[in-house]
Structure 1
Amino acid sequence: MEKSRVLVVGGTGYIGRRIVRASLAQGHPTYVLMRPEIGLDIDKLQMLLSFKAQGARLLEASLDDHASLVAAVAQVDVVVSAMSGVHFRSHNLLLQHKLVEAIKEAGNVKRFIPSEFGCDPSRMGHALEPGRVSFDEKMEIRRAIEEANIPHTYISANCFAAYFCPNLCQMRTLLPPKEKVCVYGDGNVKVIFVDEDDVGTYTIKCVDDPRTLNKTIYLRPRENILTQNEVIMNWEKLSGKILEKIHIPAEEFLASMKDMDFASQVGVGHYYHIFYEGCLTNFDIEDGADATLLYPEVQYTCMEEYIKRYV
């Protein structure tokens, strides 16, 4: 079967670059949107040129120029949005709406994967403020996609490994703690960690698969469904050092939001839902599928191997 032509929007971003590499590796004609807004960002430009050298085609278009965006979308079969979600409320939401409008007008796209890649926003209607806005925005984009009858797949990638695993789930650091580790509650809530390269691999696996059409696909690598205590235990085994555990009750953790800035409050809310509530694992998949079961041939990276580089 001929492989779909894949356009990645946000291809120089943290997950976007991995999706571009996965698309090339899996033999898809791969296109990357090159926006004039790149300006003087030499690192992004060099990355785009490296993709071009590997066989990707760069399509020049601006998300602020509807005609150019429609023209770019018209050249492909699949669009994957990997635009950063760090700009809450207006910016990212507006850009995603513009992309949806272009896909709707072009009328040729057989699969759209919007920029989600976290926990399933359809299950987060109860999320705490102010972090709830990120889930509400994703649901707004979902409604726009479905109202436009755009064929789609939603990817729930859970916790990106580099942000959650080597730091033993600690906030405000990416490195393993040396002496003490904060444990959320009893530390026994199951969490799902996924290697970021594997996110790209599974995402591209989905684009031509009829089983993933108009579904939410969850990335649930069995060996990476771990409690925080298990992550800490793995690190102690690898490092040979026992850490002092400081258990933080839920009430105390939430109270810490009081004097924080907006972004930190959002982070605390998300951590609460993941590590106290268990929002990644406290449900069975019903109207969707587990990517690791759909694609058992993918040799995903286990977290015990992932964190060895930090020893």
Structure 2
Amino acid sequence: MDIDYAIKREEPPTIIETNTPNVVDLYEKWERYEDAREEKKLRNKCEDSSDMVAEARREKISERMKILQDLVPGFNKVIGKALVLDEIINYIKSLQRQVERFLPSNFRVEEDRVNPLPPFQAVLDKKRKIRRKIEAVGIPYTFVSANCFGAYFVNYLLRSYEKKNNITVYGNSDTKAVLNYEEDIAMYTIKVANDPRTCNRVVTYPPSKNIISQNELISLWEQKGGQNFRKEFVAEEEIVNLSESLPPPHNIPVPILHSVFVRGDLVNFELRENDLEASSLYPDYNYTSIHKLLDIFLANPPTPASAAFE
């Protein structure tokens, strides 16, 4: 019997004990042929699938390149992917040269110098990543640490608009914080944004007349208003528990209070060689002290503000 012909035909009869060696050999060859054919089918199927994936990838790249062509001036005249990528790189570099100064709107704590409770720490971690990226690509920057917005926190702590006889105190009331009037923060920021001395530097706003504890703030308010208040203390343990139990984003303000008024993170570090202090940079600027800010509250109390958190 012709072996090639036998292999190409339908499956031979199942081998039995009485089959001759030639019949057994024919069946085994048929089996090997079938195995090879199935393997080839599977390989072809995989190759087709890989070709489809590669084609989809090429189409996606082409779509992205078309988007870039629409974004970059004169880009549609460039032919060849290598030249296209060179053109993109040159355009990005030209944009970097156009950025005179990056001044992120992060007017809080100096994020590289504090380690608050986890909910607030997660917010600062995001800002640290942005800071590291800016430094890495070489974009000129000025990072501002304005500390606490004074009017907001005076309103929050004293709650003068509620006309109550009690004031809530966080921690032991003796920890120092920095409370800067918002108008002064704005003026200092305008100055540092246009000052060559502050390029690629961190500028902090801790003027000496605005460093105050809750106890000192309450006593000063009592003196100015002629009223005594009953202090209701919130223990550190309770604040920590709240930061762990409240759902986001309500769990963020609590660790901010803990960081500022319990741990004293705003004043617990020394300025580094590369850091600058705003009131020293601009000694002629007459900033609003806490005393003056409380006078503003007595004469014309600002409307309580709301803060938004991530």
TM-score above 0.5:
yes
Equivalent AA in structure 2 for residue 107 of structure 1: R
**CA separation of 1:150/1:253 partners in 2, compared to 1, >3 Å: closer, same or farther?**
same
Q: Which has the higher helix share?
A: 2
State whether residues 168 and 177 of structure 1, in contact with CA within 8 Å, keep that contact through their aligned partners in structure 2. Answer: no
Q: Deviation at 1:70?
A: 9.8
Superposed CA RMSD in Å reads 2.8
- The answer to whether residue 182 in structure 2 is matched with residue 192 in structure 1 is no
State whether residues 162 and 195 of structure 1, in contact with CA within 8 Å, keep that contact through their aligned partners in structure 2. Answer: yes
- Measure the CA separation in 2 of the matches of 1:270 and 1:152: 26
**CA separation of 1:119/1:149 partners in 2, compared to 1, >3 Å: closer, same or farther?**
same
- Which residue does 1:163 correspond to in 2? 152
**CA separation of 1:103/1:222 partners in 2, compared to 1, >3 Å: closer, same or farther?**
farther
Q: Deviation at 1:276?
A: 1.0
- Measure the CA separation in 2 of the matches of 1:68 and 1:285: 47
- Which residue does 1:216 correspond to in 2? 202
- Which residue does 1:310 correspond to in 2? 297
Select the residue among 265, 274, 279 that pairs with 2:265: 279
- The answer to whether residue 127 in structure 2 is matched with residue 138 in structure 1 is yes
SS at match of 2:179: strand
- The answer to whether residue 110 in structure 2 is matched with residue 120 in structure 1 is yes
SS at match of 1:200: helix
Q: Deviation at 1:300?
A: 0.5
Equivalent AA in structure 1 for residue 255 of structure 2: G
State whether residues 174 and 213 of structure 2, in contact with CA within 8 Å, keep that contact through their aligned partners in structure 1. Answer: yes
Segments of 5+ residues of structure 1 without an aligned counterpart are: 1-64, 72-100
Q: Deviation at 1:183?
A: 1.5
The range that moved more, 287-296 or 205-214, is 205-214
Equivalent AA in structure 2 for residue 158 of structure 1: N
State whether residues 169 and 234 of structure 2, in contact with CA within 8 Å, keep that contact through their aligned partners in structure 1. Answer: yes
Q: Which has the higher strand share?
A: 1
State whether residues 96 and 139 of structure 2, in contact with CA within 8 Å, keep that contact through their aligned partners in structure 1. Answer: no
**CA separation of 1:70/1:224 partners in 2, compared to 1, >3 Å: closer, same or farther?**
farther
State whether residues 69 and 102 of structure 1, in contact with CA within 8 Å, keep that contact through their aligned partners in structure 2. Answer: no
**CA separation of 1:235/1:144 partners in 2, compared to 1, >3 Å: closer, same or farther?**
same
- Which residue does 1:234 correspond to in 2? 220
Select the residue among 254, 264, 270 that pairs with 2:256: 270
**CA separation of 1:275/1:145 partners in 2, compared to 1, >3 Å: closer, same or farther?**
same
Select the residue among 180, 204, 208 that pairs with 2:190: 204
TM-score, normalised relative to structure 1? 0.62
Please tell me whether Structure 1 or Structure 2 has the larger radius of gyration of its CA atoms. 2
- Which residue does 1:301 correspond to in 2? 288
- The answer to whether residue 143 in structure 2 is matched with residue 154 in structure 1 is yes
State whether residues 239 and 255 of structure 2, in contact with CA within 8 Å, keep that contact through their aligned partners in structure 1. Answer: no
Q: Deviation at 1:254?
A: 1.6
Q: Deviation at 1:66?
A: 9.9
Q: Deviation at 1:108?
A: 1.8
Q: Deviation at 1:106?
A: 4.6
- Measure the CA separation in 2 of the matches of 1:149 and 1:162: 36
1:244-288 alpha-carbon deviations (Å, 9 max, x no partner): 012222112222335433122100011111111110001111130
Aligned length: 214
Equivalent AA in structure 1 for residue 100 of structure 2: K
Equivalent AA in structure 2 for residue 245 of structure 1: K
Q: Deviation at 1:114?
A: 1.0
- Percent of aligned pairs sharing the same letter: 33
Q: How does 1:49-198 map to 2 (within 5 A)?
A: 105-124=95-114, 126-168=115-157, 175=161, 178-198=164-184
**CA separation of 1:135/1:108 partners in 2, compared to 1, >3 Å: closer, same or farther?**
same
**CA separation of 1:69/1:176 partners in 2, compared to 1, >3 Å: closer, same or farther?**
farther
Q: Deviation at 1:301?
A: 0.8
Q: Deviation at 1:144?
A: 1.5
